[in-house]
Amino acid sequence: MKKSVKLYDSTLRDGAQTAGISFSVDDKLKIARRLDMLGIHYIEGGWPGTSPRESEFFDKVKDLHLKHSKVSAFCATRKPHITCQEDKKLDLVIKARADAINIYGKAWDFHVERALRTTKDENLNMISETIKHIKPHTEELFFTAEHFFDGYKSDKKYAMATIDAALKSGVDFLILADTNGGTLPDEVGEIVSSVSKAFGSLGEAIPAKQGAGIEVHNDAGLACANALAGIKAGAGLVVATINGYGEKCGNLDLCTLIPLLKLKLGIECVSDKQLAMLTEVSRYTSEIANLSHNEYQPFVGNSAFAHKGGIRVSAVLVDPATYEDIEPETVGNRRRVLVSELSGRSNLVLKAREFGVDLEKDTPEAREILAQIKQLEKEGYQFEGAEASFELLVKKAIKTYIKPFRILDHRVIEEKKEGAKIFSEATIKVGCGETVVHKVAEGNGPVNALHYALMEALLELAPSLGVAPGYLKKLEMSDYKVRIVGEEKGTASEARALMEFTDGEKVWGTVGLSTDILEASWEALVDSYEYAIIKYKK
């Protein structure tokens, strides 16, 4: 097994093919910076010439002056029955002047005949001639043997002939791809080992001396297991994406692979300092991709080190290793203690400490707060995703909390005329000390109108609140959900509103519950701004 493994990131190309993702040039440049800081060895930027956006990225990425990463361009072998000079896409890839170029070609006879509609001999010519044509124009040249594992199982001799053609034509690095993601881990290990033996362990045949690389997709949920099997069999490079982004079921997730390589197998791929950036890079990429971050993602998910059961939390108080495989800080994450009706007083004590409230486990206050939480969750509240509301609840219960502002009055008027959109108008009175302000705002719905009215009132009260108006203007609602609780009651059911806010750095969640959806949303909205103000003043 290798002592070090190179990381080849394809987030900006293959990851961009995820349903719902559309990276701008600026998005790709921002992600490239973070990948460089993380210590990724190769960043695949895209296929130059397929769109103006792809070409612009390769022009601008040079200005980033990346310290750790080489930027790679991607393209296919020449088309069947034409010369490399006639295939203009190859010229566009060369003109991108990337640090490396990754050419992919077919290694499965079925694909050669059905997808390319050409002969197996012509496919070998396409591989060999394309590599020879591009080789003089780049520092490092990769060849990705697409569908290699399926091709090996279908016609071993031909699959091996494709990579033999690539090696003899001067490629620097082979990448064996499980493009359909259906190969099993034991098969991957056996095939990678067989390829290594057939080509003198590849390390001797390839200047990079890293052995074959491996690219695995997650269609069968086996990407990580397959990657580890390939690496244990001698693969020295692995292709993956941040958060496993990619077509269909996605690709190998770098955020899962990196900790496994470094912490479990002792394989060097990034430094300890870079490993501690992993959670930040994962969440930053989710934000740029405009996708919700996976709460349950291994190592970097918000729930990766979350503890809810009272017995677990009691043990974690004694020693976190009782229920944690690694220290969360190692990968830049943090431990979370969840409070719910299943919790014991240990949860409450630990959670209170997180926001600076000292509670003793066996005190009337702790017992009273826990009883209140259990009663509220019985009614339909949920504090696991609303830690800001929970903090406010605890601080109010210990009788030392002073509300930063008071809602004296609010009302909403809605009007719908034939042929026109619904019209919402909110009126609100908010007080702080002796100062009272009265605001009216319009919105595209009642919650939206109330939100605008509350914001306008707080902006005017900012001097009395001791908060900079600029800070209030930065606040954004990043998520808003409403769920019906107790559906069997029909229209008499309670509605639970969950809101998530951010100031650009921190993120917090709040909850509201009522048989009136508007009131539930209003409760969560007020908590969100109340929490923001006390955090700012702290």
Q: How far from 45 is each of 54, 106, 287, CA to CA, in Å?
A: 8, 21, 19
Number of folded domains in the chain? 2
Tokens of 270: 């990034």
pLDDT at 356: 63
Which among 467, 11, 75, 52 is positioned nearest to 284, based on CA atoms?
11
343 falls within a domain: no
Beta bridge partners of 501: 477, 508
169 falls within a domain: yes
pLDDT at 201: 44
**In 3-state terms, the chain is what percent helix, strand and coil (to 5)?**
45, 20, 35
Supply the range of the domain harboring residue 508.
406-537
314 falls within a domain: no
339 falls within a domain: no
Specify the CATH number for the domain of residue 207.
Answer: 3.20.20.70
The angle that helices 278-289 and 25-38 make with each other, rounded to 10 degrees, is 170
249 falls within a domain: yes
Residue where one domain finishes, among candidates 238, 270, 302: 270
pLDDT at 311: 74
Q: Which of 49-53, 181-185, 195-199, 275-279 has the lowest mean pLDDT?
A: 195-199
pLDDT at 469: 92
The residue whose two tokens read 């002073």 is: 402
Give the model's confidence band at 493: pLDDT under 50 very low, under 70 low, under 90 confident, else very high: confident
Tens of pLDDT, residue by residue over 39-97, are 999 999 999 988 888 889 999 999 999 999 999 999 999 999 999 999 999 999 999 99
Q: How far from 415 is each of 409, 418, 438, 441, 446, CA to CA, in Å?
A: 20, 10, 21, 14, 11
217 falls within a domain: yes
**Contact between 515 and 494 (Cβ < 8 Å):** yes
Give the model's confidence band at 2: pLDDT under 50 very low, under 70 low, under 90 confident, else very high: low
pLDDT at 532: 94
Which among 120, 198, 193 is positioned nearest to 162, based on CA atoms?
120
Give the model's confidence band at 205: pLDDT under 50 very low, under 70 low, under 90 confident, else very high: very low
Which among 248, 243, 240, 331 is positioned nearest to 286, based on CA atoms?
243
The pTM score is 0.73
Neighbouring C-beta atoms of residue 60, cutoff 10 Å: 15
* Coil, helix or strand at residue 204: coil
Distance from C-alpha of 40 to C-alpha of 57, rounded to nearest angstrom: 18
Classify burial at 305, counting beta carbons within 10 Å of its beta carbon; exposed 0-12, middle 13-18, buried 19 or more: buried
Neighbouring C-beta atoms of residue 295, cutoff 10 Å: 12
Considering only CA atoms, give the Rg of the chain. 28
Give the model's confidence band at 494: pLDDT under 50 very low, under 70 low, under 90 confident, else very high: confident
The residue whose two tokens read 């701004």 is: 529
% of the chain surpassing 90 pLDDT: 64
Residue where one domain finishes, among candidates 250, 270, 290: 270
Tokens of 420: 């026109």
Residue where one domain finishes, among candidates 253, 270, 287: 270
pLDDT at 353: 67
Torsion angle, CA of 186/217/242/224, rounded to 10 degrees?
A: -20
Q: Which of 63-67, 237-241, 300-304 has the lowest mean pLDDT?
A: 300-304
Distance from C-alpha of 243 to C-alpha of 252, rounded to nearest angstrom: 8
Tens of pLDDT, residue by residue over 130-183, are 999 999 999 999 999 999 999 999 999 999 999 999 999 999 899 999 999 999
Give the model's confidence band at 362: pLDDT under 50 very low, under 70 low, under 90 confident, else very high: low
Specify the CATH number for the domain of residue 491.
Answer: 3.30.160.270
